[in-house]
Amino acid sequence: MDDNKRLNAGRSGLIAYWPLDEGKGSLAVDVVSGNADPISYALLHAPFTEARDPQWRKGMRGNAMLFDGYSTWITRQADAVEAPYDAISISAWVAPRSYESGVEQRLSAIVNQHDREAKEGYILGMYRHGSWSMQLGLAGIWVELWCHDKPLPKHEWSHIAATFDRAEAIMRLYLNGEQVAELQTAAHAAITPCKCDLLVGKNNQAAVLAEAFRHNMFDGLIDELKIYDRALTEHEIKSAYEGDLDAHAGEIPSIAEADIRLDRTPLLKDRHRPQYHASPPVHWMNEPHAPIYFNGKYHLFYQHNPQGPYWAQIHWGHWVSEDMVHWRDLPIALSPEREAVDPDGVWSGSAAYDENGIPALFFTAGDDSAAPNQRVGLAKSTFLQDGESDLIRWVKHPEPLIVQERGQGMFGDFRDPFVWRQGELWYLLIGSGTDGQGGTALAYTSSNMLEWEYKGPFYIADSAVYPYLGNMWELPVLLPLGKEKYVFLISPLGPGADVEVFYWIGTFDSEACRFIPDQDEPQLIDVGDFHFTGPSGMVDPKTGRNIIFTIAQGERTPQLDYDSGWAHNAGLPISISLREDGRLGIEPIEELQALRGAHLISLTESTLVEANQLLQKIQGDMLEIRVEFAEGSAERAGLKVRQSPGGEEETLLYYDWRLAELGVDRTRTTLALDERSDHVQSGRLELKGESLSLIVYLDRSMLEAYANGLKSLTTRMYPSRPDSLGLQLWGDDDARIKSLNIWEMSSIYG
């Protein structure tokens, strides 16, 4: 800034002004002082991918900064900025991308230099559901001025301004040039200066989560941030607002979807992030759920925190696909809303067709002001009104469909509705527990999808015999296996629970709404220890198959999730069926073959030594491997993957005929001391005289194996060495290979 501009700024009372026009780099220049302030961003020093600048986008004037909601903020050192005393004004253009839940009743800071507990300084920020506030420390009193009735809309530009004048003893808020709130303060009370750093996008006193993360961060676009040491008049604020609109024909411009969406591009080269598994663009996901096929497309939703790679403020993310393999990101389907049934979270659920054959979503509606705080909510697609084939728009029913009553399961644990239609009735199962008898799913029926009748517990296992089933069941799923049999899946929770996907095969009494298992002992689909969880399922109307979706847990530390910018992904879809021998058949869906690239190796009838000589030339971390070991040729056999040239890192997938055990040995998976993938995982698999046939999918940190169509094993690998890409067959010396085929696999994200 030249001397004349600095003089004019001084006369105007402008003490800091970040135009945020840089468009690149990790510095934001305050044109009043000339300071270049550092911008924090997780991927500036990315350990697993290419380092990147913070995200810059098109702004109201020039460029703007896109704050990612958890790792982006600007820091001005405390001694490098003037602390307002008698008066203050703050103005900015902001476009929130999501809303935080207001942990510890603190604001998601737009700009602040404050200490609430010491009653010092100032903060302007956003709160739950878009409400916003200016708060000041005035002569030993903490004063808050709020705007609740005109929240800041998501994905839209808003011009906000806040003022305080000691002489008038008034605080005011302005939205798009108009005053929206006012508060009289104590006479002659000045702002008590705070010695904290001035932060843009991060709260000075942000609440800590899991050591690495901070709540109370701003997520979205900020442009033209200004701070004055005087109170601007309403005329000045309106004139500045209208002046910024001159370049846009007097109207607030819309924001291009590409400028504010969650963008997966920065993570595509992360050497640990799977590339042909479904995942959110960035940040956190829990289980995928509510699969449904409609109008030629598969829709799949997932638990998602758009604010960062940590568990909080859960929304419903949304993918669409024509083949259950190539998934396309869609806008968030359901968000917590102040005036809806789910102000505190939109938790897991399912999808079903309504009376018109249109998709409807059943979800767990979180409302912490109610007891219990978990109810069943409903949202219907607007397809009949707008014909929008991607099902982007959903309208929530204004009231909860089911509110748990005492005597209906474990009071307060009531979540994850699974709904289907059979004949003239809709059936609903919801996860809960019992008084001292263990977990259960509760059953309900309805003739109109809105009014539900309680039918009692669907099935209760013997918790004394099977204590690993916990005292509460989540995510119940019931699917038909032919005309008479059904499979019932649950995920246990509670003290002593083994959090896996357990199932029973049995019969369903539709009149009594009861499940009768063929045998009491539950079975596992996957033996990978907590990496194959969160089940959801559907009968595919296109093929008649039963399809299961799961989350593949990431298993990493909070700090590694922070540094990476993502946490978890979906497992590959699997098809389950009833085999002729009465066991559950488990197979990856055939559509995955569309991802095959180069056929790297094909051989039959080989010794282990001969096959490994050929494998020395094969490397990769995105592969499909199909290998069959001859029965009776060895007591142990398997496959080493992600092997470094000297064998310092490797992951061993194996089968032991003596123990009838399928397992993975990860004791040498990584040399990185901060990764958690370092132990053996295994489970029982009886082959009953069959040769061992493995289908293995490698997708960077993902390993999924399917053995003889009977069991799967899902696990994680995070090798520290980029050259840990080798393969080697493993087993006793006399092990023979009946067949081996390996293909490169393609990314579904381009």
What CATH number has the domain bearing residue 82?
Answer: 2.60.120.200
> What is the structure's pLDDT at 3?
42
| Closest by CA position to 653, among listed 699, 720, 588, 706 | 706
- Confidence band of 222 (pLDDT split at 50, 70, 90): very high
Residue 10 has pLDDT above 70, yes or no: no
- Is there a single domain that holds both residue 237 and residue 358? no
> What is the structure's pLDDT at 66?
98
pLDDT digits (tens, 9 = 90+) for 364-375: 999 999 999 999
- Is there a single domain that holds both residue 238 and residue 347? no
Domains contained in the chain, number: 3
Whether residue 576 is contained in a domain is answered as: no
pLDDT digits (tens, 9 = 90+) for 709-749: 999 999 999 999 999 999 999 998 889 999 999 999 999 99
Decide: residue 183, CB within 10 A, 0-12 exposed, 13-18 middle, 19+ buried.
middle
Whether residue 367 is contained in a domain is answered as: yes
Q: Count CB neighbours of 565 within 10 A.
A: 26
Which CATH number fits the domain that encloses residue 399? 2.115.10.20
> What is the structure's pLDDT at 483?
87
Decide: residue 358, CB within 10 A, 0-12 exposed, 13-18 middle, 19+ buried.
middle
- Confidence band of 529 (pLDDT split at 50, 70, 90): confident
What three-state secondary structure class fits 111? strand
State the greatest distance between any 2 C-alpha atoms of the chain, in Å, as a whole number: 92
Residue 708 has pLDDT above 90, yes or no: yes
Query: β-strands 63-68, 73-76: how paired?
Result: unpaired
- Is there a single domain that holds both residue 243 and residue 360? no
- Is there a single domain that holds both residue 704 and residue 642? yes
> What is the structure's pLDDT at 678?
86
Rounded-to-5 percentages of helix, strand, coil across the chain: 10, 45, 45
Domain boundary pick from 374, 403, 432: 403
Task: State the sign of the Cα–Cα–Cα–Cα dihedral 12, 18, 23, 28.
Answer: positive
- Is there a single domain that holds both residue 123 and residue 225? yes
Query: β-strands 178-184, 198-200: how paired?
Result: unpaired
Check if the beta carbon of residue 395 is closer than 8 Å to that of residue 409: no
Is the entire prediction scored with pTM above 0.75?
yes
Whether residue 535 is contained in a domain is answered as: no
- Is there a single domain that holds both residue 255 and residue 312? no
- Is there a single domain that holds both residue 214 and residue 81? yes
pLDDT digits (tens, 9 = 90+) for 70-111: 999 999 999 888 899 999 999 999 999 999 999 999 999 999
> What is the structure's pLDDT at 385?
94
Whether residue 290 is contained in a domain is answered as: yes
- Confidence band of 634 (pLDDT split at 50, 70, 90): confident
Beta bridge partners of 366: 374
- Is there a single domain that holds both residue 298 and residue 253? no
Report the percent of the chain where pLDDT is more than 90.
Answer: 94
Whether residue 351 is contained in a domain is answered as: yes
CA distances from 295 to 241, 292, 430 (A): 45, 10, 28
> What is the structure's pLDDT at 8?
54
Residue 439 has pLDDT above 70, yes or no: yes
Residue 750 has pLDDT above 90, yes or no: no
Task: Name the residue type at position 739.
Answer: S
Residue 642 has pLDDT above 90, yes or no: yes
Query: β-strands 213-214, 132-138: how paired?
Result: unpaired
Check if the beta carbon of residue 264 is closer than 8 Å to that of residue 275: no
- Is there a single domain that holds both residue 732 and residue 675? yes
Residue 11 has pLDDT above 80, yes or no: no
- What's the rounded Cα separation, in Å, for the pair 209 and 202? 14
The whole-chain average pLDDT of the chain stands at 96
Average pLDDT for 320-335: 98
**Domain enclosing residue 366, as ranges:** 285-403
Reported as type and span, the H/E element at residue 561 is helix 558-564
Whether residue 6 is contained in a domain is answered as: no
- What's the rounded Cα separation, in Å, for the pair 170 and 721? 60
- Is there a single domain that holds both residue 140 and residue 222? yes
Domain boundary pick from 260, 275, 298: 260
What three-state secondary structure class fits 375? strand
Which CATH number fits the domain that encloses residue 607? 2.60.120.560
Whether residue 120 is contained in a domain is answered as: yes
Residue 609 has pLDDT above 60, yes or no: yes
- Is there a single domain that holds both residue 176 and residue 313? no
- The region of weakest confidence among 82-86, 178-182, 391-395 is 82-86
Average pLDDT for 536-564: 97
Torsional class of 735: left (φ above 0), alpha (ψ -120 to 50), beta (otherwise): beta
- Is there a single domain that holds both residue 618 and residue 690? yes
Whether residue 306 is contained in a domain is answered as: yes
- The region of weakest confidence among 292-301, 434-443, 637-646 is 434-443
Domain boundary pick from 403, 421, 439: 403
Q: Count CB neighbours of 189 within 10 A.
A: 17
Check if the beta carbon of residue 452 is closer than 8 Å to that of residue 446: yes
